[in-house]
Amino acid sequence: MSIADGLKIAFDVHLSGDLERAEEFYRVILRASPGHPMAATLLGLIRSQRTMVRQSKHKTLALLRGRGFRPATVIDVGAQTGTPPLYEVFPDAHHVLIEPVAENEPALQRLCADLRSAEYRIAAVAWQGGTSRLAVSDDRLYSSVVAADHRVEPDHALRSLREVPAVSLDGLCAERGYARPLLVKIDVDGLELEVLAGAATLMEPGSVFVIEATLVGEDARLARIIDAMAPYGFRVWDIVDPLYRPEDERMWQVDLVMVHRDGPYAAL
C-alpha cells in the first residue's frame, strides 16, 4: 500500500471519530516517512481534539441544539467524504452534501444511504453557477477552485486540473426549495468569501454558519470572513477546531461558528 493510500484510509477513520485507530495509522505513516507533513499535522489535530473537546464542532453544535436550534436543512459545502458532527448532532435534518471531487462520490453515496434524509451533488460552490477550474491534490484529500485567469503556482503544479460544474447556494436553494432554518458548513480551502457572495438569500436570522478560516499568511481570511458577514447581521458565536502548524505550533486555522445578532441562538 502506498503512503497516499494509507493516508486516505487514516483520514477516513479520523473523520469517523475513531481517534485511537486514526492515530495508529498516522504513526505508521510517520515511521515509513518521517516528517510527512500531512500525517504530522493530522496527528497534531488528534492531540488537540483530545485535550480541547470543548473546542470542537460537535460540542458547539450540541450547545446550539440545547438552545433550541433544530435545522431543517444542513448544507455541507466541501463535504469530501463526510462531516460526522453534522449527522451526529442533527440526524433528523435533511443533509445536502456538496463536493467537487468526483472520486469522493462513492463515500457520499454510502452516507446518503445511511442518513434518514440526504442528497449529494458533485459540484464546486461559487458566487454563481456555471463551471469552475479545480486543482485536486494527488491524494484527493484537498481541492481548490482556480480562477480562469490565474497562473498555476508551483504548489499547484503537482495537482491535477479539471473542469467541474459550479453552483451558487442562492441558486441551489431557489432550485430545491430547502426548508428552513439552515445550518451551512463551508470548508473550501480558500474560496469561502466567494461562496458567501453567492449566499445572500441564506443570511436569515434563523441560520447558523460554520466557516473554515485561516489566521496567518497573505491569504489570512478570518477577519475578512467576519467583515463579510457583519452587514448581514452575523457575528461570531464560537471558535472551534483550532489547527496548529506542526513546525512552530502557531495557530493557523479555525472554524468560525456564526449566528445572527437578532436570531434565537445569539449569546445574551
Nearest residue to 75 (alpha-carbon basis) of 163, 190, 197, 202? 202
CA distance 168 to 174: 10
Cell of 144: 481548490
| Half-sphere exposure (Cβ direction) of 163: Cα atoms closer than 13 Å | 3
CA distance 266 to 268: 6
Tens-place pLDDT, residues 36-72:
888 888 888 887 666 556 678 998 999 999 999 999 9
Residue pointed to by grid coordinates 467537487: 100
**Per-residue pLDDT for the chain (268 aa), expressed as one digit of tens each?**
788 888 888 888 888 777 788 888 899 999 999 888 888 888 888 876 665 566 789 989 999 999 999 999 999 999 999 999 999 999 999 999 999 999 899 999 999 999 999 999 999 999 998 888 887 766 555 566 665 544 555 554 445 788 899 999 999 999 999 999 999 999 998 889 999 999 999 999 999 999 999 998 888 999 999 999 999 999 999 999 888 888 888 888 999 999 999 988 876 5
Q: To the nearest 5 percent, what fractions of the chain are helix, strand and coil?
A: 40, 25, 35
Pure H helices in 17-162: 19-32, 37-51, 57-66, 84-89, 105-114
